[in-house]
Amino acid sequence: MAIFSLAWKSLINRRFTALLTVVSIALSVALLVGVERLRTEARASFANTLSGTDLILGARSGPVQLLLYAVFRIGDATNNISWKSYQDIAAYPKVAWTVPISLGDSHRGFRVLGTTPAYFEHYRYARGRPLAIAEGRQFTDLYDAVLGAEVAEKLDYSIGDPIIVAHGASDVSFARHDDKPFRVVGILARTGTPVDRTVHVSLEAIEAIHIDWQSGAPIPGVSISAEQARGMDLTPKVITAALVGLKSKVATFRVQRFINDYPEEPLSAILPGVALSQLWDLIGVAENALLIVSVFVVVVGLFGMLTALLTSLNERRREMAILRSVGARPGHVFALIMGEAGFLTLLGVLFGLAFLYLLLLAGQPIVESRFGIFIEIGGLSPYEWILLGAVVAAGFLVGSIPSYRAYQLSLADGLSVRV
């Protein structure tokens, strides 16, 4: 214990250099564990973009493609679903609720989604959280629109503002449904999901704006005004996809088989969790790259400690020689430098964790409100303990290099004067 007390006093004597080394290691550890914590919580939030939905119904396609356009509003459907087929599946005895979704239009770069009030009732995200109206109300009139938080913020919309929906993804003049303008009646609270980047209208509204269109273009010589459309049959003919909730989780595979074998038209039913895992496997390379960068930052911090110890060691030859002259053995000198390396590493880890938790406390509400990622402020996970153990072990390994160098210094070398 005396040798470790001596190591601590030696660091106190060189406190400025030691402090810089500790700060370097602390920042490296905070980055490493912070990236791991953020990666884990981002993955959880990603998996919870859609929560509480048992199946996603769509036209026959791959699971990832169906998930991308039905949940993340990326890409387009290979085909639509007839309204009759949707009603048949919604009436299946094992089905508790359904939420129809109609996509294909946009507003200034944001997707327009046609749905029913069931969307606001049953859509869940981030571990079962329901959608909340931050301002206004849900749509009730044919030409009402409810905006996601990002749409309202980026386009500076407020309640009562008019908006024009465009056909397809391009908002060009000849594709706009400017004869049937919508009015903003509600703005959703931020969720950190694709809901924030979506304009929500009713299914009947989607039918109304396309009632005088055919094959993606206006019908020549036919013009139906917004008021005339109100009096017409606006029952949807097709939808893009549907979210399905079941009465019992046990029936999931039975209902999935029923939909996949549906005889009237080729349909697919996917499990959101499975499809999300497949999608995460495709994009998970980025998180691994970020973790590798963090590891290299730690390596750089440890090499900074190595440089500081080796530099100081060259200046402390006479100190080592005096220790040897008063009875210290080479092993004591080795233990002294190892003790210093251990103290620097452990202090760096402790201060790094303290700094990280301070950042999490300050940044948690900001990250959640802006990106929808809830970062849990709890104890370290087993994997994080492994990472910290690896850092400490690497610190001792790096410290063994100057320790071995000090071990080799002889009494004559320390007392001699080099020219």
Model confidence pLDDT, tens digit, residues 238-266: 999 999 999 998 999 999 999 999 998 99
Which pLDDT tens digit goes with each residue over 120-129?
999 998 778 8
Distance CA 117, CA 201 (A): 10
Distance CA 104, CA 164 (A): 14
- Per-residue pLDDT band for 62 (boundaries 50, 70, 90) equals confident
- Per-residue pLDDT band for 156 (boundaries 50, 70, 90) equals very high
Q: Give the pLDDT of residue 323.
A: 65
Q: Give the pLDDT of residue 410.
A: 47
Asked whether 203 and 100 are in contact (CB, 8 A), the reply is yes
Dmax over Cα atoms in the chain, in whole Å?
107
Reply yes or no on whether the pLDDT at 50 is more than 90: no
Mean pLDDT: which of 214-223, 282-291, 367-376, 390-399 is highest? 390-399
- What pTM was estimated for this model as a whole? 0.70
Q: Which amino acid is at 271?
A: L
Q: Give the pLDDT of residue 395.
A: 84
Choose among 240, 207, 241: nearest CA to 226.
Answer: 207
Q: Give the pLDDT of residue 326.
A: 61
Q: What is the mean pLDDT of residues 134-155?
A: 94
Q: Give the pLDDT of residue 306.
A: 74
Reply yes or no on whether the pLDDT at 5 is more than 80: no
Q: Give the pLDDT of residue 412.
A: 47
Distance CA 10, CA 14 (A): 6
Reply yes or no on whether the pLDDT at 327 is more than 70: no
Distance CA 164, CA 207 (A): 15
Q: How many CB atoms lie within 10 A of CB 215?
A: 5
Q: Give the pLDDT of residue 186.
A: 96
Contacts of 244 (CB under 8 A, 6+ apart): 53, 54, 55, 56, 57, 89, 95, 97, 98, 255, 269
Least confident of 135-139, 200-204, 222-226, 258-262: 222-226
